[in-house]
C-alpha cells in the first residue's frame, strides 16, 4: 500500500511538471539602450522596434541581433502619432501634417499639409490598412485620403482605450480593465472573459492568447476562445513598462530601458 501511494504521488508530480510553463527573459541589445525613448511613442514591424527619444529622433532596434541605430538625421519634436505601414514609417505632427519616412535611409517626404489630420484622436494599423478615429467614429482609409474613407460601425469610439492588433485582428483594453475584440468590418465590440479582469496592466495578443502584465508584475496568459486566465510568472516582469508582439514573438521594455523577448516554454 505504501509503495502504491508513493507511485501515485510520483505520477501526480510528473503530470504537474509536464504541464507547467516556464517564462524566460532573453535580453535584446545592450543595457539601458532605450532609456531615453518615449514609452508612448513607438512602433514595430518586420522584425524591428522603432522608438522616438526625448529630442524627437527616431531609432530602430533589430529584434534578432539587438543592433540599435538612428533612422536618418531629422527630428520630429512635434510628433503626435507614429506608426508603420507597408515597410514605411509615418509621423503625424500636432499641426495635422503627415510625413513618410524610409526606415532604411531616413529619407522623408511630406504627404499631407498642416491641418489635414488635425481632428483625428487615434490611429491604428491592422494588416495593411490604416484606421483613424474622429468624433467618436472609427474610419477605414483607402490610401491617406479622407474622401475615400469609410465609417466602421457607429460612433462608439469616444473612449477607445488602448488599441492594438495581431495580424488582421483588432483589440482594445478600456480604462476599466475590460478587454474586447473589435470587428473591423462592422465596428462591433466583443467582450473577452470577465469585465475588469485586466485593470491597470500591459497587454498584447499572440496567436490565440492574450498576455498581460499587471501592476504587481504578475504575468498571465488568457485563452481568447473561452477567457480562461492563468498566471505564468510573478517575479521577473515587475519593471515592465511596455509589452508588444512582433513576428509572433512577445517582447517587453523595462523602466531601465532594457528590451527582452519573453520566451514561454
Looking up cell 503530470 gives: 15
Looking up cell 479622407 gives: 146
Residues 250 and 243: beta-carbon distance below 8 Å: yes
What confidence tens digit (pLDDT) does each residue in 88-121 have?
999 999 999 999 999 999 999 999 999 999 999 9
Which region, left, alpha or beta, applies to residue 58 given φ > 0 means left and ψ of -120 to 50 means alpha? beta
Cα–Cα distance, 170 to 167 (Å, whole number) = 8
Q: What is the pTM of this model?
A: 0.87
Neighbours of 64 (CB within 10 A): 12
What confidence tens digit (pLDDT) does each residue in 63-84 have?
999 999 999 999 999 999 999 9
pLDDT of residue 258: 96
What confidence tens digit (pLDDT) does each residue in 21-61 have?
899 999 999 999 999 988 778 999 999 999 999 999 999 99
**Mean pLDDT over each residue of the chain, to the nearest integer:** 89
pLDDT of residue 227: 84
Amino acid at each position: 500500500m505504501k509503495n502504491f501511494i508513493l507511485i501515485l504521488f510520483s505520477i501526480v508530480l510528473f503530470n504537474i511538471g509536464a504541464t507547467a510553463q516556464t517564462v524566460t527573459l532573453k535580453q535584446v541589445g545592450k543595457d539601458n539602450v532605450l532609456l531615453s525613448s518615449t514609452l508612448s511613442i513607438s512602433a514595430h514591424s518586420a522584425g524591428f522596434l522603432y522608438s522616438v527619444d526625448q529630442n524627437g529622433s527616431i531609432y530602430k532596434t533589430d529584434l534578432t541581433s539587438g543592433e540599435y541605430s538612428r533612422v536618418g538625421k531629422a527630428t520630429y519634436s512635434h510628433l503626435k502619432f507614429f506608426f508603420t505601414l507597408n515597410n514605411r514609417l509615418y509621423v503625424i505632427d500636432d499641426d495635422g501634417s503627415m510625413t513618410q519616412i524610409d526606415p532604411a535611409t531616413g529619407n522623408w517626404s511630406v504627404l499631407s499639409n498642416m491641418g489635414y489630420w488635425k481632428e483625428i484622436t487615434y490611429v491604428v494599423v491592422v494588416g495593411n490598412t490604416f484606421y483613424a478615429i474622429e468624433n467618436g467614429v472609427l474610419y477605414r482609409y483607402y490610401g491617406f485620403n479622407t474622401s475615400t474613407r469609410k465609417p466602421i460601425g457607429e460612433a462608439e469610439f469616444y473612449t477607445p482605450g488602448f488599441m492594438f492588433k495581431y495580424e488582421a485582428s483588432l483589440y482594445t483594453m478600456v480604462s476599466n480593465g475590460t478587454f474586447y475584440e473589435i470587428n473591423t468590418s462592422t465596428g462591433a465590440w466583443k467582450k473577452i472573459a470577465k469585465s475588469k479582469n485586466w485593470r491597470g496592466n500591459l497587454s498584447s495578443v499572440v496567436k490565440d492568447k492574450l498576455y498581460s502584465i499587471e501592476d504587481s508584475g504578475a504575468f498571465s496568459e488568457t485563452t481568447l476562445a473561452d477567457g480562461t486566465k492563468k498566471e505564468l510568472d510573478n517575479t521577473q516582469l515587475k519593471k515592465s513598462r511596455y509589452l508588444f508582439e512582433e513576428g509572433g514573438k512577445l517582447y517587453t521594455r523595462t523602466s531601465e530601458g532594457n528590451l527582452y523577448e519573453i520566451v514561454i516554454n
